Amino acid sequence: MKKIENISLKKEINRKKNIIFLLKSKKKSLPTQYLYDDVGSKLFEKICETEEYYLTRTEYKILNSNSFDIIKASSAEELFEFGSGSSKKTKTLILSALKKNKYLTYFSFDISSEALYMSYDELSKISENLNVRLLKGNFNLDISRIEASKKKRLYLFLGSTLGNFNNKVAINFLQNISNLMNKEDSFLLGVDKVKDEKIINLAYNDKRGITKKFNKNILNVINKEYKLNFNKNNFLHNTIYNSEKSQIEMYLKSTALQSIKLPNNENLNIKKGEKILTEISRKFSEETLERLFAKSNLKVIESYTDEKKYYSLYLLKIKKYL
């Protein structure tokens, strides 16, 4: 088994305080990153295979049809992926990059060890000329710890994970990436687009209940990490599409009045019907994206979409160098 390089130096300070603050707030929430322990990462892979979750297969189709173009347009000599998950979709880009470069390094960066191991399993046998590096870190805290490269790098952020960030965090993330990029580097971003609400709602409420399990698993993770006593049977999986904000909001909705012991031993009462936000998933329009790119010194050099325009990939460069 390949060794994981832990690049995270920054201890998440005040993590406990933050959890207490989030749970005691009027609008309760939990940090989305806690969805991804070993079990959560495997459940996410299962979500990707459901009939309703169109995002993965649509992005895969776009990548598969355009992978050689993307490698050519970016002149990529090295690939670096944030929140790589299992890297299944990335394989098609890696294969195209290996046609252009004899040797290739692919960096898989994720917060979940299970995701990194899945990525290694997926890629390690492709070619002896492919070097897979597994980096464990938090993409909201540790980007400054990433070393730039002398090779032309293609950074990847796929799966519409940008949609899990609110506007402020999204701008901060994109600015960090653009600060990391050299003149010759490129950035491929995959995002889910605004569309018929019914299609979006179904994608987060699959009939096999895998998204429900994925959502509830956050309570196991929090219980383990902070020695809490959440009972996942006392919560329902609940999603709404907020059309004003063009985002899915995923909640755990309390089915009864219940008492939770917080990490500081305080008791927290959660009323019947009260909700805890576990994730937002934004759906983007061209206008929103233009604003985000403008604020981050990024410029689109190519874009790719599917026939229904459900999903888009943007190939970006640093604006000031163009």
Residues that bind ligand SAH (CB under 6 A): 33, 36, 41, 44, 48, 56, 83-85, 89, 110-112, 115, 138-140, 158-159, 161
Q: 238 touches which of ligand AVI, ligand SAH, none (CB within 5 to 8 A by kind)?
A: none
Q: Does 158 bind ligand AVI (CB under 6 A)?
A: no
Let me know the angle formed at the C-alpha of 236 by 232 and 242, rounded to the nearest 5 degrees.
Answer: 130
Report the residue closest to ligand SAH, judged by CB: 159
Q: At closest approach, how far in Å is the CB of 104 from ligand SAH?
A: 19
Q: Are 91 and 123 in contact (CB under 8 A)?
A: yes
- Report the residue from 40, 137, 163, 190 that binds ligand AVI according to the rule CB under 6 A: 163
Closest Cα partner for 235 from 267, 210, 258? 258
**What string marks each residue from 190 to 209 as x (binds ligand AVI by CB under 6 A) or -?**
--------------x-----
Q: 281 touches which of ligand SAH, ligand AVI, none (CB within 5 to 8 A by kind)?
A: ligand AVI
Q: Using CB atoms within 10 Å of the CB of residue 45, give its burial: 0 to 12 exposed, 13 to 18 middle, 19+ buried.
A: middle
Q: Does 211 bind ligand AVI (CB under 6 A)?
A: yes
Give the interface segment with ligand AVI, choosing from 105-113, 158-166, 216-224, 266-274 (CB under 6 A): 158-166
3-state DSSP of the chain: CCCEEECCCCCCCCHHHHHHHHHHCCCEECCHHHHCCHHHHHHHHHHHCCCCCHHHHHHHHHHHHHHHHHHHHHCCCEEEEECCCCCCCCHHHHHHHHHHCCCEEEEEEECCHHHHHHHHHHHCCCCCCEEEEEEECCCCCCHHHCCCCCCCEEEEECCCHHHHCCHHHHHHHHHHHHHHCCCCCEEEEEEEECCCHHHHHHHCCCCCCHHHHHHHHHHHHHHHHHCCCCCHHHEEEEEEEECCCCEEEEEEEECCCEEEECCCCCEEEECCCCEEEEEEEECECHHHHHHHHHHCCEEEEEEEECCCCCEEEEEEEEHHHC
**What string marks each residue from 88 to 127 as x (binds ligand AVI by CB under 6 A) or -?**
----------------------------------------
Q: At closest approach, how far in Å is the CB of 199 from ligand SAH?
A: 18
Residues binding ligand AVI: number (CB under 6 A): 11
Q: 114 touches which of ligand SAH, ligand AVI, none (CB within 5 to 8 A by kind)?
A: none
Q: At closest approach, how far in Å is the CB of 192 from ligand AVI?
A: 7
Rounded CA gap, 14 and 290, in Å? Answer: 35
Rounded CA gap, 218 and 134, in Å? Answer: 24
Q: At closest approach, how far in Å is the CB of 200 from ligand SAH?
A: 17
- Report the residue from 41, 108, 164, 176 that binds ligand AVI according to the rule CB under 6 A: 164
Q: 41 touches which of ligand AVI, ligand SAH, none (CB within 5 to 8 A by kind)?
A: ligand SAH
Q: At closest approach, how far in Å is the CB of 322 from ligand SAH?
A: 27
Q: 47 touches which of ligand SAH, ligand AVI, none (CB within 5 to 8 A by kind)?
A: ligand AVI
- Report the residue from 50, 90, 112, 281 that binds ligand AVI according to the rule CB under 6 A: 281
Q: At closest approach, how far in Å is the CB of 206 from ligand AVI?
A: 8
Beta carbon nearer to ligand AVI, 101 or 164:
164
Q: 163 touches which of ligand SAH, ligand AVI, none (CB within 5 to 8 A by kind)?
A: ligand AVI
Q: Are 252 and 233 in contact (CB under 8 A)?
A: no
- The footprint of ligand AVI (CB under 6 A) covers 47, 55, 159-161, 163-164, 204, 211, 279, 281
